[in-house]
Amino acid sequence: MNRTDRLYALVEELRAVAPRPRSVRWLADRFEVSSRTIERDLSALQSSGVPIWAEPGRTGGYCLDPSHTLAPLGFTVDEALAMAISLGMLETSPFRDAAISALRKVVAVTDDRSLKETAELATRIHLLDERPANAETRGIGEALRTGHVLQIAYVDRAGVATSRSVEPMGFVGKGGDWYLVAWCRLRDGLRAFRGDRIAEVKLTGERTQRRSLRAEDLGVVQGELRAVNPRGNRL
């Protein structure tokens, strides 16, 4: 990793755990450089205006002020390509519109040369979908965030249509399929609704207290659930 990439990575590492500190020794081990190199890097970032300060004490280290808005950081070619692939895989998900918006932001902070190389590499990668995206499910992500109750028209595997009031609790993705995990008031229990079987979605305007959701409550008998961690693998 060259110095420029390491400076970007240092900021992202501190941002991910803010306001908790990271020690110089921890950062040196993480980036496989000397403690002196990390201290020089942190000093350079501070001089450039990045809001980093030292936290004294045995458990102290360096912290990033989470209240400050930092200038957008660029992506390497590999990072931009990974982001494009990951966001492209959300084409059939309830997060399609947000993924398109996020991809625009990736493009905006990637330099022209890297963007050109990323675009060329992206032409060599294709995603195979079994079915087109279901436009009716795209607003469901908002309901999960806001806590709104949904009224959905759902068609089960036998072709029977029902109208249900549901409290969104989460999502499970499997290949190209996405399932809305919700408390179904009709069945008075936890249910998973496959996205392509949801024919209509309406926000009721009612908000309800968010129910807890544990992996074991889902009763998955095949495969292994993997949680999404936006902070990466290092907590």
- The CATH number given to whatever domain includes residue 25 is 1.10.10.10
Within a domain: 225: no
Q: Are residues 19 and 41 in the same domain?
A: yes
> Which pLDDT score is estimated for 149?
93
Q: Are residues 45 and 83 in the same domain?
A: no
Q: Which H or E element spans position 123?
A: none
pLDDT in tens for each of the 235 residues of the chain? 778 778 888 888 888 788 889 999 999 999 999 999 999 999 988 887 788 888 887 778 999 876 654 455 567 888 889 989 988 888 878 888 888 888 887 887 677 788 889 999 999 988 877 665 554 565 687 788 888 899 999 998 899 999 999 999 988 888 778 889 999 999 999 999 998 899 889 888 898 888 888 877 787 766 777 777 665 554 3
Q: Are residues 83 and 45 in the same domain?
A: no
> Which pLDDT score is estimated for 57?
78
> Which pLDDT score is estimated for 69?
47
Within a domain: 129: no
Q: What is the DSSP code string of 12-46?
A: HHHHHHTTS-B-HHHHHHHHTS-HHHHHHHHHHHH
Q: Which H or E element spans position 199?
A: strand 198-207
Number of domains in the chain: 3
Task: Count CA atoms closer than 13 A to 17's CA, side-chain side.
Answer: 18
What residue numbers bound the domain in which 164 lies?
Answer: 135-213
Within a domain: 207: yes
Within a domain: 156: yes
Cβ(205)–Cβ(143) below 8 Å: no
Within a domain: 153: yes
From 219, 154, 226, 227, select the one nearest 185 (Cα to Cα): 154
Within a domain: 220: no
CATH label of the domain that carries residue 159:
2.30.30
Residue ranges of E strands in 3-132: 52-55, 61-64
Cβ(55)–Cβ(21) below 8 Å: yes
∠ CA 195-106-13, nearest 5°, is: 100
Q: Are residues 8 and 55 in the same domain?
A: yes
* 5-26 residues labelled b (16+ CB within 10 A) or e (exposed): ebbbbbbebbbebbeebbbbeb
Task: Please tell me whether the overall predicted TM-score, pTM, comes out greater than 0.85 for this model.
Answer: no
Cβ(77)–Cβ(114) below 8 Å: yes
> Which pLDDT score is estimated for 138?
58
Q: Are residues 28 and 58 in the same domain?
A: yes
Alpha carbons 8 and 110: distance in angstroms, whole number: 13
The two tokens of residue 162 are: 């029902």
Within a domain: 130: no
Within a domain: 88: yes
Q: Are residues 207 and 141 in the same domain?
A: yes
Cβ(115)–Cβ(105) below 8 Å: no
Cα–Cα distances in Å, from 22 out to 45, 136, 198?
15, 44, 46
Residue ranges of E strands in 61-106: 61-64
